[in-house]
Structure 1
Amino acid sequence: MSVGKKILGLISLALLLVLWGGYVYVFQDVRDGQYGDLFDGRAWCGSPPPSGESYYKKDHLALVVKNTTQGEFAVSGWINVSERTFNKYELGKNELRLRLEPLQSSYADTFLIPEEMKIKPLSRNFNSVNRNAYADLEGRPIRVLGQATKFPFDVYRYGYRPVLYIIKGTERIDLKFRHITTTMDLSNTLSPVQKYNPLDYFNAKSNLVLESDYTPYKSNECAFSIERKGSFKIIVLLLLLVVCLPLMHAFYRDEPAIDFLATLVGVAAIRLFLVGPLKDFHVYGIDFVFGAVILLVGTVTLIKAMRLSAQRERAARSGSTW
């Protein structure tokens, strides 16, 4: 056996061992048909809502942040207003509004544009025991800092300060809600980590800036760093190695044309599973890995086809049987 064949055999054996070892690792992390823990992608910050009988009698705002596989985030939620607050600010004729003020994301970040959220009309229950008004927020996409194209090493930063307000004449009046909660209800492939001070949220070090220069976040200021779980990155690696199996077969086959087709189908299926269908030619970093695998299989297949054709031509000229 030639040196090249031995090296190829060792690579194939190592690939199989990694795939089977990773399969066992992933299998052990499956619980009740769900990969990982159901609450892996959940976290919250702020002041918790009132409990018990005071739940409807006190003012509180709840925001819920969800995500898609394409790295897009959306926020929704609901609001409860007590009768006292409703009458104080005359919310029957003054529209209740909500703005999300972005937190400073870097040392030089000073121009911050708030995001507006639409609050649906308040449903009044003042004749009931609860004596409150309630409304849902209209869900909308929310801007987060990060690059989805770096999948599966994409890291996002969510940081906002929710502020409720009304416009009375020409004056903007901010409402003071003690209970404001932001809940991250993300895919369990993501891991949100709350940040308690700006320096941690910036994720950057500078010898010119001291920790005492920035005060910790207040209860109504929520900052999260969101990244992929390590176990999910292992799954992505395993799927990439699975795509490499047709490449290994192409080295062993004399006529490996079917392996090129298998690679195309495998890449399309895995890409759709991981990041969804191609949208407006939005290319991820992992797409270049897929492209490299397709080119490698295509190159090996074409070279073997050319060599096989040359051998057949030589056999035909010499009159021997192929």
Structure 2
Amino acid sequence: MYRYFLYGVTAWLAAYIAFFYISLNKPSNVSKWVHDAYTKKTLIASATPSPRIVISAGSSTLFGIDSSAISQAFNLPVVNYSVNAGLMLPVILHKTKQILREGDILIMPLEYDMYLYNGNPNEQMIDFVTSYEPHILPTLTLKEQFYIFWQTTLKSIITKQTQEIQTPQGLYGAHNIDNRGDQINTAKADQAKEFYKELQDTKPYEYNNIYKGDELSYRYLREFAAYCKQNNIKLILTPCPLLTKPQYKEERFFADVPQKLRAMGFTYIGSPYDYMYSIDFFFNTDYHLNDEARKNHTQKLIKELLPIFFGNEVLTSSNFRRR
């Protein structure tokens, strides 16, 4: 009896593995907007001459950066390569690496979830990797690969085989991205009532309770920093915009992360507390600035970057020039 049970489990597992591999690279509506956004931004990046500034993170930077203002400030072309923080750190680093060139200046205002990544992929990361970028799988740890396989449901596999792929029509997607990679149509006048209600209902993140300081994210960042150094890419980390909450001022997480990164040798400019804003600065989530706030936030970032660009670190680089 036990033997037949083992046969049954083995047969089920073999069938599931087969279904999983059949589903790889099969498009999904869940990640269609992400795929389309990256496709457009990759074309923008390939057409943007060097030397240039690349800005890469999640949607807080998709919504939060005025690339035109940064380009004017430093007289360099700018590519906003940011899409969705839900993809998690290893995927964003992998995607960014694909478009980087020697001599690029890379600014990464990573969302705070990135620093908490410890090898547990979420639904968005799983769907995007399996549906559009399965070549990323071998670059991940065995733990991550196992979780992606184990957490891919039979329902999602069947859905991808039977669904009709839709062209994104809402707020998110390539149709709402300009020729530098910035999100458009996010003025206060464009803010729907339900967006503001969503902001009012936002709860504080519990980053402080989750953070340990030895997350897998730091290994990924060290490896990525080594890649940047090897390829003469200047890597600059900086805070992302976030809807302020009173308890954030008392939480060690927001002070510890910059301190740890600087101790590891990263260039990290600014303080997370200075990039926390009131509800009127945001469009639809606690990470997404509206267009008016985007301009103010970008000017603050430019001021933080000035000593980096016009100090010894970048100005003396043969890849930087005033035009």
**TM-score past 0.5 threshold:** no
Relative to the length of structure 1, the TM-score reads 0.21
What is the TM-score with the length of structure 2 in the denominator? 0.21
Higher relative contact order (CA 8 A, sep 6+): 2
Q: Which has the larger radius of gyration?
A: 1
Structure with more of its chain in strand, by fraction: 1
